[in-house]
Amino acid sequence: MATIHDEDGKASSREEEEVKKVPTQEEGGLFSSIPLVQHGNFWISPHLLKSIQLVQEEFVPRATDVILATFPKCGNTWLKALAFAITNRSRHMLADHPLLTHHPQDTVPFLELPNRQIQPLSELEAIPSPRLLATHLPFSLLPASVTAVGSRVVYMCREPKDVFVSKWHFENRVTEKLVVELGLSFHLFCEGVSVWGPIWNHYLEYWNESKARPDKVLFLKYEEMMSDPVKEVKRLAEFLGAPFTDTEERSGVVDEVVKLCSFEHLTSLEVNSTGVSDRIGGFPMENSTYFRRGKVGDWENHLSAEMAQQLDSIVEEKLKGSGLTF
């Protein structure tokens, strides 16, 4: 029977009935919510344990690295596209841009991968500086050397109810035959049990780090990116060490980058809307999986007012005193 285990493999005290409805790892595959194991303050997929260890032991960060960090479904695909477009804009005329023919997920490699034994970390060594890299690792699970050498980190968070809804759709889409009931998934999310959860711990670690070292950790919100993309993209470009010049601003380059990476534009491209790719080894996914609605507030179409209030008050309580609000 599927269940939730702690590091020692002991079943948790969750209600028996609910546990019975939870799919097994074999049924759910890599992206199933369950079973997860606890590692530090986080719930993770057992598939990633080895990879985390390899990243911690073997990843060699550089001072010039920029790591794009997100909790799953907070806009990692968008952030990859933006950071890639900003940092490569002098090399690529927008009319002939790699993002027109390459999926944003293929422009920036992930640090941790379930099959890091097969796709060794040494492949990252071949990337010339300055490197863009991506991760879902919580800050506390990044190697200490990332901070020691002074690599920069860009973190993007998102309103938690929208993250939950996006995650629920994603997991049900990639584990096709298996629909995890929304109520159960929500219950677990509220308890902090989701891949890389609890979401509030993930947010808080990067938030606190961005307050302590603002020159090294930039904290972005999906909703602010959506409401004023030009302002946020300029802020991102400055942090990346590639600020837009006055001439570029006057000639509309910022707007072009925003448009190039917009949900509407990316989803209109064949490379993002058709085909299947196996990016992580043994787990092919449709390229369109990374794009769904790209809206702020879509939770309203899926959660009751009661559920919304429940998650809001948990998040508010967990973030209390930090200065981070939604």
Residues with active-site annotation? 136
> Which stretch, 114-122, 139-147, 181-189, 260-268, contacts ligand A3P (CB under 6 A)?
260-268
Q: Are 140 and 41 in contact (CB under 8 A)?
A: yes
Tell me if 290 contacts ligand A3P by CB under 6 A.
yes
Q: Does 261 bind ligand A3P (CB under 6 A)?
A: yes
Choose which of 33, 51, 76, 185 interacts with ligand A3P (CB under 6 A): 76
To ligand A3P, the closest distance from the beta carbon of 293 in angstroms equals: 4
- β partners of residue 64: none
Q: 47, 62, 73, 89: which one contacts ligand A3P (CB under 6 A)?
A: 73
The residue count for the chain? 326
* Alpha-carbon distances of 198 from 38, 39, 42, 153, 160, rounded to whole Å: 10, 11, 6, 20, 11
Kindly state whether residue 100 participates in binding ligand A3P, applying the rule CB under 6 A: no
262 sits near ligand A3P (criterion: CB under 6 A): yes
* Interface with ligand A3P (CB under 6 A), residue from 294, 302, 308, 319: 294
* Number of Cβ atoms within 10 Å of the Cβ of 19: 18
To which H or E segment does residue 66 belong? strand 66-70
Under the binding rule (CB under 6 A), the answer on residue 188 touching ligand A3P is: no
User: How many residues sit in the footprint of ligand A3P (CB under 6 A)?
Assistant: 21
The smaller minimum CB distance to ligand A3P, of residues 4 and 311, is found at 311
**Token couple for 70:** 């997100």
Which H or E element spans position 242?
none
Is 202 a binding residue for ligand A3P by CB under 6 A? The answer is no
Angstrom distances, CA of residue 5 to CA of 2, 19, 123, 186: 9, 11, 33, 18
Work out whether the CA dihedral 140, 175, 68, 217 comes out positive or negative: negative
Q: Which residues are near ligand A3P by CB under 6 A? A: 70, 72-78, 162, 166, 169, 261-263, 266, 290-294, 298
